[in-house]
Amino acid sequence: MERIALGGWLLLLCVLFVVWQPLTLGLSASSVIDALPVRGLPLAIVLVVRVLAAALGIGAGLALIGRRPGAVALAKVSLVVSGATDLFVYLTPYFPSNRAPGDTMIVVAASLAYYAVWLAYLYRSKRIRRTFGHDIS
C-alpha cells in the first residue's frame, strides 16, 4: 500500500492530541493545584482522570503519526473519553472554574461540537480511509 503523507486535518488532529491536549491540561492543572487542600480527594481524582485521558490522547496521536494498526479506533476512544471527562469537569463542582454564570452550557455545547466534529472526521474522511485502509471501524 502506498504511504500517504500525513497532512491536512489529520496532521492537525495529531498535533491537538500530542501537543495541545497535554499543554491545556498542564495549564489547567497548575491553576487549580492550590485548591487541592480545600477540595481534597474529589479534585485529585478528577486531575488523575484528566491526566489519563490526556495520556490516551498522546497515545492516539502517536499511533496515528506512526500509522499503527488500531490507531483510528484508539483516536475515537480517546475523543470519547476526553469528551466525557470534559463534560464531567464542566457539569460538576469538583473542578474549580472561573466561568461566568450562564456560560457553562455554552462551554458544554462548544465542547460537544468539538468532539463530534473530530469523530465525524474520523468516520467520514477519505484521507483516513486511504491512510489506514480497512483499519477504520
Asked if residue 1 belongs to a domain, the reply is: no
Q: Is 114 exposed, middle or buried (0-12, 13-18, 19+ CB in 10 A)?
A: middle
Distance between CA atoms of residues 52 and 111, nearest Å: 18
Number of structural domains in the chain: 1
Cell numbers at 17, concatenated: 492530541
Is the pLDDT at 1 greater than 50, yes or no? no
- The reported pLDDT for the residue numbered 3 is 62
Asked if residue 91 belongs to a domain, the reply is: yes
Distance between CA atoms of residues 37 and 3, nearest Å: 51
- The reported pLDDT for the residue numbered 136 is 56
Asked if residue 2 belongs to a domain, the reply is: no
Asked if residue 3 belongs to a domain, the reply is: no
Domain range enclosing 51: 8-135
pLDDT in tens, 14-71: 999 999 999 999 999 999 999 989 999 999 999 999 999 999 999 999 999 999 999 9
pLDDT in tens, 91-121: 999 998 888 889 999 999 999 999 999 999 9
